[in-house]
Structure 1
Amino acid sequence: MHHADCEAAIRRIQHGTSSVELVLSTTPTWPLTSAPPSASGSPLRISVLDSSFNPPTLAHLALALSPPPAPDHTPYDARLLLLSVRNADKQLKHGDATHAQRMQMMGLLAQDMAPANVAVAIMDEPTFVGKSAALLAFLRARFATSASRDESYTPKVQLTFLQGTDTLERLLAPRYYGSLENMRAALSRFFAADGDDSRVVCARRVMANTLEAAEAAEVEQRALDTMKDMGILEKVSFINIGDDKNSFSSSEVRGKIARGDESWKAMVTHGISQYIEENNLYRPL
C-alpha cells in the first residue's frame, strides 16, 4: 500500500465521494473466493476488526484471527480490518500515527494473517450501527457489479464485529445514540435477523492488578445486564485470546516508545516494529 494511495482514499472518504474504501485485499473478489460458500443458502460470514490501530499490536492480530466462538464453530468466510477516520471517542492527536500510516500498518498486519481471506478498508462512520449499515450497502453494491460471478449471486452477509470490553461498553451507551429509545431501536436493527443480522464478539482484557480486574468484571456485568434487558444476550459472545497477548494495548506501546523502553517490540509484529522505527513514530520531539 503506497502512502499516496492511502491519502487519496482518505480524501475520497472525507469529501463524501465514497462511503467505504477497500484499500487492500488478498483476493480480487474479496470477500468472495474462487470456492463457493461453505453451505448452500448459508450467509457469507465476515469478521470485522474495527480499531484505531495506533499501532496494531499482537492483541489485534490474535483477535483478528480468532475463530468463531462456541457453540457455532463455522469458520468465517472472510475477514476485514477496518479504520474509521472519524472516531466516536478518539481524535487524532499530536504525535499519533496519521490515518495513512495506520492504513499501511494495517496492510502489514493483513500480511501476517496469511493465508486468511482478508481485506483492509476505511470509512467515515463513528458508530457500529452506522458501520454495519454502510458495510452491508457497500457489499451489496460490490456483488452487483462483480464481473467474476453470476449477477444473480447476491449472498446474504452476516457481519461479526470483534471488539474489546471497553468498546462493547460504548456500543451499549445511550449517549452515542441521542437517547435510550434511539439506542434500543438502532441495536434492534443491528442485531435483528430481518435487519442487519450482525453479531458481536468481545475479547476479555487481562488486567495487571486485582482492582483493574474487578473493574473489568463490573463493566462486563453491566454490559450483560443491559443486553439481557434488551433481549440481545445471545447475539454477543465473549472470548479469551490468550493471557500473553490480551494484556497488550496500543497506548502501552506508545508509552514505552516515548520512554525509550525497547520491550514494546515484543508487543507488535516484526513488520510493524520495523515500520514504526523507519518512520520514527511515537517518539518525543
Structure 2
Amino acid sequence: MSTSTASASVTGSAAPTRALAPIALPSPLPRFFLVYPTTWRPLSTEYTHQSSPTVRINVLDSSFNPPHVAHYSLARLAAFDCNGTSPFDARLLVLGSSNADKGSTGQDEMNTRLEMMRCMAIELDQDLAKGGGRGHGQVGVAVVEGARFVDKSKHVREWIKEHHQGPEVELVFALGWDTVIRFFNPKYYGTEFESFMTSFFDIDRSSIVCARRGDVSPIEEEEFLSSPNVHKYRERITMCDVDDQALNVSSTDVRKALKEGRRGDVDKWINVQGVREVIKKERLYEQ
C-alpha cells in the first residue's frame, strides 16, 4: 500500500459560467459515451515518448447528486497524486447508467447530473491550468454502463483501445472511504468475488486512490486493509488525506441544505458556481 498526505486545495469559480450546449444522449446508450469534451484524447502523442510507457488516467466515478466539494477534493487529490506533483495525463468524471444499490437513473435526471458534471470538469481543468499540472485540457465527462467499478473499468478501457492507439493505460479510480469498503464487499459479486478482483487489479491493471475520512482511526484503516478480502490488493491502494472542509460532506448533507435553504452551507459545499446555476435553473432538491 502506498500512503501519502496531501492538502487537496478546494477552489471554485465565482464568475458565471459561459452558455453551454444542451447535453444530448443517444438511445440506446452504448457501454461508454463521451459527453464532454469531444476532443478528449487521453493518449495524445505528447505522452508517447515519456520515460514511462504508461499513460495514467484518474477516474472519478460517483452519482454526482449533486457534485460538491468532496467530489472536487477527490478529483484534485487524485490529480496531484498525494505528493505535490501531477503524474496523471488525463481525468475522467464518470456517471454510471445504473447503481449497484439504487438501480438505473432516469434520462432527464441523468442529463441534469451530466450538465453539472460538465461544469465541474471545466472548473477543474481551469484549476489544473493555473497550477501548471500535466493533463490540462484532458478532463472528460462520460456515461458508462455497469453498476460496479469492475464493469466500468472494463468499458472505459475498451473504449480507449477502440478509439486511440498509443501506450499502455492505467486507470486509477478515486474513491472515498465508504466507497472503498463497498468495493470490497462480496455481496456485489456473488460467488465471483475473486474473479472480479483479478479482472480489475491484474487483467485491467487498474488501481485505487482512496481519501481518508477524519473519523476513521489509523487502527481501523489498518484492520480493513489487512482484512482477508483486501490484503492481497493493498499495494494497489494509495491512501491520502483530503482538504478538511470536504472530509465529512455527503450528497445527502448537500441536498438537505438546499431543501432547507441554508445558503451559507450550500455556497461552502457546492464550490463550483456553474453547478449552483444548474440547480437554481432546474429548481433541484427543493422538495
**What RMSD over aligned residues (CA atoms) do the two structures have, in Å?**
2.6
Is the counterpart of residue 197 in structure 1 residue 198 in structure 2? no
For the 8 Å contact 2:56–2:90, the answer to whether it is kept is yes
Q: Which residue of 2 aligns with 1:146?
A: none
Pick one of 275, 281, 285 that aligns with 1:272. Answer: 275
For the 8 Å contact 1:30–1:118, the answer to whether it is kept is no
Q: Answer with 159-168 or 109-118: which moved more.
A: 109-118
Q: TM-score, normalized by length of structure 2?
A: 0.80
For the 8 Å contact 2:60–2:93, the answer to whether it is kept is yes
Distance of aligned partners of 1:113 and 1:22 in 2 relative to their CA distance in 1, 3 Å threshold = same
Is the counterpart of residue 163 in structure 1 residue 164 in structure 2? no
Q: TM-score, normalized by length of structure 1?
A: 0.81
Question: How much has 1:155 moved relative to structure 2?
Answer: 1.6
Equivalent residue letter for 1:277: K
Please state whether the residue corresponding to 1:167 is helix, strand or coil: helix
Q: Which residue of 2 aligns with 1:186?
A: 196
For the 8 Å contact 1:191–1:199, the answer to whether it is kept is yes
Q: Which residue of 2 aligns with 1:124?
A: 145
Please state whether the residue corresponding to 2:143 is helix, strand or coil: strand
Is the counterpart of residue 174 in structure 1 residue 183 in structure 2? no
Is the counterpart of residue 283 in structure 1 residue 276 in structure 2? no
Distance 1:57 1:38 in 2: 36
Q: Which residue of 1 aligns with 2:33?
A: 21
Distance 1:84 1:176 in 2: 15
For the 8 Å contact 1:184–1:230, the answer to whether it is kept is no
- Percent identity reads 30
Distance 1:217 1:170 in 2: 19
Distance of aligned partners of 1:62 and 1:37 in 2 relative to their CA distance in 1, 3 Å threshold = farther
For the 8 Å contact 2:97–2:105, the answer to whether it is kept is no
Distance 1:85 1:54 in 2: 13
Distance of aligned partners of 1:43 and 1:177 in 2 relative to their CA distance in 1, 3 Å threshold = same
Equivalent residue letter for 1:110: A
Is the counterpart of residue 36 in structure 1 residue 47 in structure 2? yes
For the 8 Å contact 2:57–2:91, the answer to whether it is kept is yes
Q: Deviations over 1:82-107 (max 9, x none)?
A: 0001010134689xx81110000000
Distance 1:4 1:82 in 2: 15
Distance 1:91 1:255 in 2: 22
Q: Which residue of 2 aligns with 1:149?
A: none
The higher relative CO (CA closer than 8 Å, separation ≥ 6) is in: 2
Instruction: Give ranges in structure 2 of 5+ residues lacking alignment.
Output: 1-19, 130-135
Distance 1:110 1:229 in 2: 31
Distance of aligned partners of 1:217 and 1:23 in 2 relative to their CA distance in 1, 3 Å threshold = same
Q: Deviations over 1:231-259 (max 9, x none)?
A: 21110011111111222221111001111
